[in-house]
A and B are shown apart, each in its own frame.
Chain A
Amino acid sequence: MTQRAPVGLPVWLWVVLCGAVGALVRLYYFDVKAGIHYPDEIFQYVEPPFHKIHGFAWLPWEYERGVRNWVLPGYYGALLELGAGLGLSGWGLHRFLALQNAALSLLIVPAGFRLGVAVGRGDARQGVLLALALGSFPLFGYFAPHTLSEVHGLLLTTWAYALWMEQVAFPDHHGRCRKACLVGILLGAAFIVRYTLIAFVPLVLLDYNFRVRFRELFAATCGFGAMVLLLGFIDKLTWGSFLHSFVEYADYNFIEGGASEHGVMPRDFYWTVAFGERLGFGAHLLLVPACLVFWRHWRMLLSWGIVLAVFSMIEHKEERFLLSIWPFVWASAISGALALADGLRHVRRLARSRYLAPLRAGAVALLVVCVCVLSFYGTEKLPMRWKAGIFRAQSWIGQQGDASGVLLDDPTHLNGGYFLLARNIPQASFDADLLSRRVFNYVAVYEPWSLRWMGRNHDFAAVARFEDVTVYRRAAGSTGDAPRR
């Protein structure tokens, strides 16, 4: 390997090009999709800091009991302040956060490059191919513009594993304890943003142990421990007791069995949905080369295999939970495919040809493109604008000076909250009984029966429409436009 890869371009330029492809993919998804993938992205991470800033919000039970820590809400709090400084609120602020997360998720491209080089024991082509795969993988593009903890978890685990694999591949580099400490810090940060990502920790520590790298093991443990201590102190400051949120999380999910209250999925859910529905035949294109040459990248196979097995044992499953395993699925697949493509050496004409190396890389790049195309079609099945209409309606209503209350066609936890409304007035689920209450003078609905009901109600008139959502306003002169008593 040299600094120059095929087509005479320097390696750094290939990485930048992968980043550019990744940016295009993220811009595409930022443009075509809006709203949410899951309500947690509003009510667990954005609504709490909004409450801290403005004093009003709707908060879920997790913040009453203290099941969540304040690290990610604090991060979004800082971003909310920056967005507000730019004059943004409601829908505009939501889009700002989405774009910010999409841009931040591009950090996976350099992480992918370093992971690929490390798995390939110094093969820059493998690094570039993995950077290309992680940059252009549609599933990452889909999740990137969302304020979900999985986006940060994905970045942190990928960087942690990239650095760890560099230590595996090049064990005698300088500053190995410092790097091991950084691995521990990154894994600790991943644990803080999403507690279940602790499943990524044991493999790294065991590997240091079995390779008799005790100094690195100590450094990584210290790094991880420092982050746990940090979490403990943050919990002490915000909830009043050390590691309160983690204890409550474990208590709720594992002792009380609360996780299953949110839905019990079959054991093979991740295989049928995350691999089958999302990748189709692409799942085989990834897994067959990965498994055929397993000895080249067994650590990568274990990386995602262990986590997949652990997550499959938890009764409540969601596709987003699995996001962090994909870089390692890709790393093992590309490593396996490159090894298989080495078979081109046995083609007599190519054996000594200068085109062998580019052909080998080109064949694997083709595989990456094929899987990404299949993944694109699989990802298209996911909701693209779920709740976008309600979000825009809420944001618009929040700007109306006469708005004193809003009825929305959804349960409280399935709208944009006060973060989107940005006005301190009551909002409640649409209920025909509440229509007669003067305080609720705006209604945003999309369900056919609600629309029929509103169509028959002469106290309200349609005033705006956002996607599938119609906004009604109480007509002037209807029930109590002036004080009644």
Chain B
Amino acid sequence: MKKDEVAEAGTQEHAARAVVWPRFMRRAARVLAGAYVVALITGAAVFLRRQPIIATPVIETHAALPTEWTNVASFQAGSTVRVSSFDVFRSHHPLFAVDGEEAPTALMKWATLARDSRPWLEVRFARPAEVRRVELVLSGAFEDAAFTVRDYSIQCLQNGRAVARAQVRANREPRPAYPMKCIAADSVRVDFTVPRGQRVDVVRLYEIVVWGRFSSEGP
């Protein structure tokens, strides 16, 4: 036992001197570690503050914008979509709501996340447009009618200000259409109300069609 203790003391002394790092190495290691930690903290601070708005990009098309009456909400007419959320687990992307598909697959709809308590969708046009009618294609058109969203409001917006509004309660129509009269509208927004804990607790929207005509001059 005594012998072991002596040996142990020897090895400890030994180990204590195992590496003597030169001062410049110690300093370099400290600077490197410090810079890495500071960079990480800075990145983390920016990361934690992020509250992005989900928006689709402008899809470049080679065709000029039509001047006749058309679906100004179509992505091919240069529109973009902003939404409160989308079902990122099942890829029900918001662009599907403006893809102009008349016979979409089950994938090709915009659906919100279950935790999204105040879902909304906003279609921004490529140019201000005169809007005549807004049509929705809801889940009842292709799925169980129980999934059709019941309550929502549709607004025609001009610089973020509502210039026309349609309030809908207890909708049963799978393809409702609403006449709207707005001049030089730059977007249409739909705010949905979803009851919690029911089959219709998420919004499933296959299409939004906005009949209108682009202004001849830009904004």
Q: Which chain A residues have a beta carbon within 8 Å of chain B's beta carbons?
A: 1-3, 10-12, 15-16, 49, 51-61, 63-64, 74-75, 77-82, 85, 113, 117-118, 121-122, 124, 127, 166, 169-173, 401-405, 412, 423-428, 433-434, 437-439, 476, 480-485
| Residues from chain B with Cβ under 8 Å of A58 in the complex | 88-89, 91
| Chain B residue with the shortest CB-CB distance to A14 | B19
Interface size on B, residues (CB 8 A): 58
- Candidates A12, A166, A439, A485; contact of B22 at CB < 8 Å: A12
Apart from A122-B14, A481-B63, A483-B100, 4 more pairs, CB < 8 Å: A12-B25, A434-B105, A438-B99, A482-B76
Instruction: Give Cα distance in the complex from A424 to B57, angstroms.
Output: 7
Q: Is the CB of A82 within 8 A of B43?
A: yes
Tell whether B153 is near chain A: CB-to-CB under 8 Å. Answer: no
A57 to B126, CA, bound (A): 25
Within the assembled complex, what's the spacing in Å between the Cα atoms of A402 and B59?
Answer: 5
B47–A81 CB distance below 8 A = yes
For residue A77, which residues in chain B have a CB less than 8 angstroms away from its CB?
A: 43-44, 47-48
Residues of B within 8 A of A113 (CB): 19
Contact B105 A433 (CB under 8 A): yes
Q: How many A-B residue pairs have CB under 8 A?
A: 183
Question: Is B169 an interface residue when CB atoms closer than 8 A count as contact?
Answer: no
Report B86-106 residues with CB < 8 Å from chain A CB: 86, 88-89, 91, 93, 95-96, 99-101, 104-105
Interface with A: B67-75, B140-148, B156-164, B182-190, which one?
Answer: B67-75
Given the contacts A12-B22, A55-B53, A169-B15, A401 and B101 also touching, CB distance less than 8 Å: no
Contact across chains for A402 and B61 when beta carbons are under 8 A apart:
yes
Q: How far is the CA of A404 from the CA of B71 in the complex (A)?
A: 17
Separation of A85 and B25 alpha carbons in the complex (Å): 29
Q: Does B77 contact A (CB under 8 A)?
A: yes
Q: Is the CB of A79 within 8 A of B43?
A: yes
Cα of A11 to Cα of B12 in the assembled complex, Å: 17
Determine if A124 and B44 form an interchain contact, defined as CB atoms under 8 angstroms apart: no
Contact A485 B209 (CB under 8 A): yes
Q: Does B167 make an interface contact (CB < 8 A)?
A: no
A-B contacts, 29 of them at CB < 8 A, read A3-B19, A3-B20, A12-B22, A52-B52, A53-B47, A58-B89, A59-B88, A60-B89, A75-B40, A78-B39, A78-B42, A79-B43, A80-B43, A81-B44, A81-B46, A82-B42, A113-B19, A122-B11, A170-B16, A172-B12, A173-B16, A401-B58, A401-B59, A425-B59, A426-B108, A428-B91, A434-B105, A482-B66, A484-B71
- List the A residue with the shortest CB-CB distance to B60: A401
- Contact string against A for B residues 169-204, beta-carbon threshold 8 Å, 1 for contact and 0 otherwise: 000000000000000000000000000000000000
- Of the candidates A57, A64, A75, A169, the one having the most CB atoms from chain B within 10 angstroms of its own CB is A64
B54: Cβ under 8 A from any A Cβ:
yes
Contact at B91–A412, with CB atoms within 8 Å? yes
Which residues of A are found within 8 Å of B20, using beta-carbon distances? 3, 10-12
Is B1 among interface residues, defined by CB-CB distance under 8 A?
no
Contacts of A433 on B, CB cut-off 8 Å?
Answer: 105
Closest to B54 in A: A55
B19 touches A11 (CB 8 A): yes
Evaluate contact between B56 and A425: CB separation under 8 angstroms.
yes
Is B50 in contact with A53, judged by CB distance below 8 angstroms?
yes
A301 to B99 alpha-carbon distance, docked (Å): 61
Closest to B99 in A: A439
Establish whether residues A78 and B47, one from each chain, have CB atoms under 8 Å apart when the complex forms. yes
B168 within 8 A of A: no
